[in-house]
Structure 1
Amino acid sequence: MVHAQTVQILTPVSGNVMPLKNVKDPVFSAGMMGLGFGIQPTNGQIVAPVSGKVTMVAATKHALGFTTPDNHLEVLVHLGIDTVDLKGQPFTLNVQADDEVQAGDVIATMDLEQITAANKQTTVVLAVTNSSDKLDHLDVTTGDQTAGSVAATGRLNANTFNAKRQGRLPKAGKYDQLAADIVENVGGVENINSLIHCITRLRFYLKDESKANDEVVANLKGVIDIAKAGGQYQVVIGPAVTDVYDAVIKQIGPEFSNDAETAKAVAETNAAANRPDTTWGLIKWGFSNLIGVITGSMIPVIGLLAASGILKGILAVLITFKLVNTTASTYVIINAMSDSVFYFLPIFVGFTAGKKLGADPVIMGIVGGVLAYPSIVAIAANGKTLSTLFGMTINADFFGLPVHVASYTYSIFPMIAGAWLASKLEPWLKRVIPTVLRMIFVPLFEVVIISGAILLFLGPIITVLSTALANGIVAVYNLSPAISGLIIGAFYQVLVIFGLHWAIIPIVANDIATTGHSYLNAIVSATMVAQGGAVLAIALKSKLANIQELAWPATISAFCGVTEPAMYGINLKYGRAFVTASIGAAVGGFLTGLMRVNMWGFTGAFIGATSFVNPKGLDFSFWGFWIASIATVIVSFTLTWLFGFKDEDAAAVKVAPQKRHLGQTA
């Protein structure tokens, strides 16, 4: 006797039963359609895999859907791969929608020879399309089996089993009839090129829009209206759009869907729906979106940055205690391990920002490679001056055009701006370049245009702005070290986000090279400690494992002088925490300037404590560093604990997982 919580599924055709991952179709093999199995058939007789109602029959006869009466499992039988193109010719069906069948009943035949002759695969695929909601698992018995034998056994998950016992299982196939009516009245499957959806609309790409019956579609029960825009035939559904989309894809087949375009449409319409009307609201909305893109682009590499920051701290300790010499090969190897992710950061950010913004991530990675290319880095590093323009050093020329080549290692904002530009340029290139030439010329033009835009325009603009800021900071510092410390402390990490801090680093380097010390670098050190204090508060306060998993390494990294993991992974992502960290940094910078704390090395934060030791003998700078740093941690920690973060913030910014739609393909 089969336990009430167990379900059995028969093989719908005789042949070799295989795991779903072996099916030569990415939609099915990746499990996008749900749990199931494939069969390489030895004959063309098809039987019902379960008892229940026939809820879907594709117009091209290549797919049938069943719903079981007791558990409401939705079972799809897909006859062959890409056989929708055959318009039903190889298939003969014995059932139609709403028929009741018993497991093992003969329901169809398929002509294997005709399918093979058409260069299509005969593989029959069975998928439980709502298995993510219904089943804990599905065990498949592979090998040769006859039609009607038990091929898979599964177990209902607890929620479905309890709901079944209480008689409250939801009605299945609610939108199947609406889906069938929509498909029929947009001209049938043969008139559909593809289908995506946004947050309220089905978006059909039709071969001939004139074949769609606008009046009938607009008046279907469940349809709000229709619209035509951007080459799309849009059917306005409302909040139930994803359910209707699922039902349509079940009928027309997964090959008509496009996961990437659907995700893009959902993101765009979500953004438009949340766009405020007031000017100030638009500014806040735009800045929030910018921060979202920055943090979203950085999240994939945050762990690497944290690990590299910790390794940099270890290397600093080894150097401080003279366990490793900076000229030794040991130092070179460890330094490469700790610095490579920062040196090649434009490549990684190009890839992740491209994915985030809808540009080709590989092409954007190549653009990042252009910026990190050794010869480009050498031009920026050699200090050669050909001329000056608007106070900017001209160190190269491009076909005679004077150019300032900046250093892009450690930088992220130019690549994010480049990815945004690429997301606008790429669709236009694909429209104007013939299909047969796209593979070569789209990457060619994109790499040249985006790299050129960054090197020739964006980089110099950032350099001019950062140089002006640096000159202003020096002027303020000369006027009042305390006020300068307050301002630099509050805003230095903001400059880091946009790559505007690079003009300050040469000032620090020049100070250390000419005088052996830098008051300015001591203030910058306080901003690192502040980011660490804020993320430490979050690490201790949060009860969420995913937050703690990132916050603790980010804390260590920040106290080792690398703030990117703390900033992009936690503080900036949750908004208020970055503000409270900046307030703590302002306090630390103010105290550092007020006490005239000096610094004799580059390495800051707690790991760089020895940089505050005067080579001529210990003086107050060392104790001033500790006073300012401890005060910074106390302020940033306390403010973040009280006002900067709560676990609900993580839930608020967490992107809700998208419902897995039937037949979405990459």
Structure 2
Amino acid sequence: MKQVQLLAPIKGQLIPLSDVQDPVFSQGMMGDGFGVEPTNGQVVAPVSGRVTMVAATLHAIGFVTASGLEVLVHLGIDTVELKDKPPFKLNINVGDDVKAGDNIGTMDLAAVKAAGKQTTVILAVTNTADKVAQLTPRLGNVTAGAVGAQVDLKTATKAAAAPVAAKGNGGKYDDLASQIIMNIGGVENVKSVIHCITRVRFYLKDESRANDDVIRDLKGVIDVAKAGGQYQVVIGPAVTDVYDAIVAQLGPGFGDDDASALASEKEANKAAWKKMTVWQKVKHSLSALIGVITGSMIPVIGLLAASGILKGVLALLTSFKLVSATTTTYVIINAMGDSVFYFLPIFVGFTAAKKLGSDPVIMGIIGGVLTYPTIVAIASTGKVTSHLLGMGINATFFGLPVHVASYSYSIFPMIAGAWLASKLEPWLKRVIPTVLRMIFVPLLEVIIISGAIILFLGPIITALSGALAAGIVKIYELSPAISGLIIGGFYQVLVIFGLHWAIIPIVANDIATTGHSYLNAIVSATMVAQGGAVLAIALKSKVANIKELAWPATISAFSGVTEPAMYGINLKYGRAFVTASIGGAVGGFLTGLMHVNMWGFAGSLIGFTSFVNPKGLDFSFWGFWIASIADIIVAFTLTYMFGFSDADVKNVKTAPKKKHLGEEAAPVE
């Protein structure tokens, strides 16, 4: 039996393919191989042969050897998303001949980590089923160019000349491309074409003109499928080459590399989903949801942290009577600190759309609709004409009674809208003629998505929030300590999904009618806990980009704004959010047990003056500090010991595509 060696493409710790944090590779969908956790960014050729593929984003390279092995080297996980600023430099091109161990480029490990991606380098033999009898990786520390695995070739394996990648002018796959195009009805029957990891996906004007049986029988075609308005030609590992040859013959304007990258990821996720158990699907869905939430927030986390600190400074200035809330100085500084929260739907619409595959500009405009001054005015000052399911009906839409909610400071409606747009947009592009798309796709998308949020999603969230608020009031009336425990433990979960808004009018009414709010004091404790947890991470982590984010997130949380701590660190790394919530439960329990009262809106540590009774200092002030210190100790200790390790940074993966949030500048957000 013939044996060949695969070299490690990079220096680091060589691990089994099953340990790679990507189900497409770890479950062997792309063939046998191994992974390397790199410690150096120099990349070498793992085999001698010809370069058959270099991804446009430079994150993946394909080789074929003289013995016919097709080898894929994938630099990092989810690094295809870094197309705007690829952290790779390659000195090879498609068609180049290389020798095993040749330097072929570099990978900026720090830049990959800073972007929140994993640096794991993966090697897979994509034609394992045809060529490989057994692949044995050599686990442990390896240097770039050292033997990474021994491959036993199947006895039927015969030497094959390295194919030349398709160039549209005599390439290996040109004839297959011509046959496919001819049998789908010719160039004139093609609207556009994309590809995923195994299929070339055509949008045809008339699918009935395609000759399915002839295409299925073409050498190099596995099957034909029709789904989602696409005519799909299943190719297998050579899909990129066939796609390139097809696009070269169709001409400019037909291919879409961004859509192809998105399709590849979706197909990989779909394949992995089919192999999961019910419990794995639940965990995967939750992970995907958290991934989309944190991924949508990461681009604005720095701004949120900076704004939170500025809002904290402003709270101090007003608390100590250095700046009056009635002056233009206050208005200007408040605008600087509050604008990112007030217009958050616009920013989140843009980032969530990029994450979920819809149009970022269109979703930004939809965010603008939700924060449009007259819409905000209806939500805040509109006259309530009736009530339905606990919601105040404050508007009509073509005679239909509507509850218009306030969407400033919120993100869940925008993430849900971006998800809906990712489903609506491809359908609109299929049914609307090309010459009309530029106007009518955004027009219909803005109308449909904005309408869905305002008419349906907003009222649903309001109804859920109202029910939760009523339950919280009942629990508080039953026992302040028990309500403190429950609210302290789960309030920040409500913030994630925007369901915390119903508590605001309760707090506002308390302060307006009695001058104080016991409930607001409990909410304040949840902010302190998030700060305590992220403080532990700031001190424990040795990962530079984590420390850089954790320190300002800590200051922001203690200044009353928990989003940077929650979405940038705690929620993203899972256990830290749980340990922070346990700290919040302890702080909330003590706050309720000691009947701590609060006379202002600003909470967390920065809002300590809100716990001073205007009639004279009483135990609420000291109770606030006791509960806050306990909050920090519990959240800090649990997070430091159990809630986070730097290994979590390597293992976390920004999950595929799915949903939401809320905000807070004071406990009453």
Normalising by structure 1, we get a TM-score of 0.69
Q: What's the offset of the Cα at 1:424?
A: 1.6
Determine the C-alpha separation between the residues in 2 that align with 1:187 and 1:550.
Answer: 52
What secondary structure sits across from 1:187 in the alignment? helix
Specify which of 232, 252, 258 is matched with residue 260 of structure 1.
Answer: 258
Q: Which has the larger radius of gyration?
A: 1
Residue in 1 that maps onto 2:14: none
Q: Deviations over 1:108-152 (max 9, x none)?
A: xxxxxxxxxxxxxxxxxxxxxx993338xxxxxxxxxxxxxxxxx
What secondary structure sits across from 1:186 in the alignment? helix
Cα contact 1:209–1:233 (8 A) shared by 2: no
Residue in 2 that maps onto 1:466: 465
Q: Deviations over 1:491-542 (max 9, x none)?
A: 1111111111011011111111111111101110111111111111111121
Letter of the structure 1 residue corresponding to residue 560 of structure 2: G
Judged with a 3 Å threshold, the aligned counterparts in structure 2 of structure 1 residues 366 and 597 are, in CA distance, closer, same or farther, namely same
Residue in 2 that maps onto 1:280: 279
Q: Does 1:176 align with 2:164?
A: yes
Judged with a 3 Å threshold, the aligned counterparts in structure 2 of structure 1 residues 285 and 277 are, in CA distance, closer, same or farther, namely same
Q: What's the offset of the Cα at 1:387?
A: 1.2
Q: Deviations over 1:397-428 (max 9, x none)?
A: 22222111111110110111111112222222
Q: Does 1:536 align with 2:524?
A: no
Q: Deviations over 1:378-411 (max 9, x none)?
A: 1111263211112221112222221111111101
Cα contact 1:522–1:604 (8 A) shared by 2: yes
Q: Deviations over 1:577-620 (max 9, x none)?
A: 11111111111111111111111111111101111111111111
Judged with a 3 Å threshold, the aligned counterparts in structure 2 of structure 1 residues 302 and 594 are, in CA distance, closer, same or farther, namely same
Judged with a 3 Å threshold, the aligned counterparts in structure 2 of structure 1 residues 618 and 383 are, in CA distance, closer, same or farther, namely farther
Calculate the aligned-residue CA RMSD, in Å. 3.7
Judged with a 3 Å threshold, the aligned counterparts in structure 2 of structure 1 residues 211 and 600 are, in CA distance, closer, same or farther, namely closer
Q: What's the offset of the Cα at 1:225?
A: 5.7
Determine the C-alpha separation between the residues in 2 that align with 1:423 and 1:655.
Answer: 18
Letter of the structure 1 residue corresponding to residue 278 of structure 2: T
Q: Deviations over 1:453-499 (max 9, x none)?
A: 11111111111110111011011001000110011011111111111
Q: Deviations over 1:555-582 (max 9, x none)?
A: 1111100011111111111111111111
Determine the C-alpha separation between the residues in 1 that align with 2:160 and 2:638.
Answer: 51
**Residue segments in structure 1 that go unaligned for 5+ positions in a row:** 1-69, 77-129, 136-154, 658-666
Judged with a 3 Å threshold, the aligned counterparts in structure 2 of structure 1 residues 592 and 410 are, in CA distance, closer, same or farther, namely same
Q: What's the offset of the Cα at 1:362?
A: 1.3
Specify which of 116, 133, 141 is matched with residue 90 of structure 2.
Answer: 133
Determine the C-alpha separation between the residues in 1 that align with 2:254 and 2:291.
Answer: 31
Residue in 2 that maps onto 1:62: none
Judged with a 3 Å threshold, the aligned counterparts in structure 2 of structure 1 residues 288 and 543 are, in CA distance, closer, same or farther, namely same
Residue in 1 that maps onto 2:575: 576
Letter of the structure 2 residue corresponding to residue 267 of structure 1: E
Q: Does 1:199 align with 2:156?
A: no
What secondary structure sits across from 2:90 in the alignment? helix
Aligned pairs for 1:340-419 (under 5 A) are: 340-382=339-381, 384-419=383-418
Q: Deviations over 1:39-84 (max 9, x none)?
A: xxxxxxxxxxxxxxxxxxxxxxxxxxxxxxx9989999xxxxxxxx
Determine the C-alpha separation between the residues in 1 that align with 2:298 and 2:318.
Answer: 30
Determine the C-alpha separation between the residues in 2 that align with 1:260 and 1:435.
Answer: 18
Determine the C-alpha separation between the residues in 1 that align with 2:363 and 2:244.
Answer: 33
The percentage of counterpart residues that share the same residue type is 71
Determine the C-alpha separation between the residues in 2 that align with 1:174 and 1:131.
Answer: 25
Residues matched between the structures, number: 512
Letter of the structure 2 residue corresponding to residue 297 of structure 1: S
Cα contact 2:90–2:104 (8 A) shared by 1: no
More displaced 10-residue stretch of structure 1: 305-314 or 189-198: 189-198
Cα contact 1:175–1:247 (8 A) shared by 2: no
Letter of the structure 2 residue corresponding to residue 185 of structure 1: L
Cα contact 1:561–1:604 (8 A) shared by 2: yes
Determine the C-alpha separation between the residues in 2 that align with 1:634 and 1:403.
Answer: 46
**Residue segments in structure 2 that go unaligned for 5+ positions in a row:** 1-47, 55-86, 93-102, 108-142, 148-158, 657-669
Determine the C-alpha separation between the residues in 2 that align with 1:263 and 1:489.
Answer: 42
Q: Deviations over 1:146-201 (max 9, x none)?
A: xxxxxxxxx98699xx99999xxxx9994426883433123168867665432334
What secondary structure sits across from 1:409 in the alignment? coil
Judged with a 3 Å threshold, the aligned counterparts in structure 2 of structure 1 residues 178 and 400 are, in CA distance, closer, same or farther, namely closer
Normalising by structure 2, we get a TM-score of 0.69
Aligned pairs for 1:647-662 (under 5 A) are: 647-654=646-653
Letter of the structure 1 residue corresponding to residue 177 of structure 2: V
Determine the C-alpha separation between the residues in 2 that align with 1:495 and 1:236.
Answer: 46
Residue in 2 that maps onto 1:430: 429
Cα contact 2:358–2:422 (8 A) shared by 1: yes
Aligned pairs for 1:444-463 (under 5 A) are: 444-463=443-462
Q: What's the offset of the Cα at 1:328?
A: 0.8
Aligned pairs for 1:16-31 (under 5 A) are: none
Judged with a 3 Å threshold, the aligned counterparts in structure 2 of structure 1 residues 445 and 205 are, in CA distance, closer, same or farther, namely closer
Judged with a 3 Å threshold, the aligned counterparts in structure 2 of structure 1 residues 211 and 371 are, in CA distance, closer, same or farther, namely closer
Letter of the structure 2 residue corresponding to residue 272 of structure 1: K
Q: What's the offset of the Cα at 1:251?
A: 9.7
Cα contact 2:201–2:230 (8 A) shared by 1: no
Q: Does 1:185 align with 2:184?
A: no
Q: Does 1:271 align with 2:262?
A: no
Residue in 2 that maps onto 1:118: none
Judged with a 3 Å threshold, the aligned counterparts in structure 2 of structure 1 residues 422 and 156 are, in CA distance, closer, same or farther, namely closer
Judged with a 3 Å threshold, the aligned counterparts in structure 2 of structure 1 residues 211 and 286 are, in CA distance, closer, same or farther, namely closer
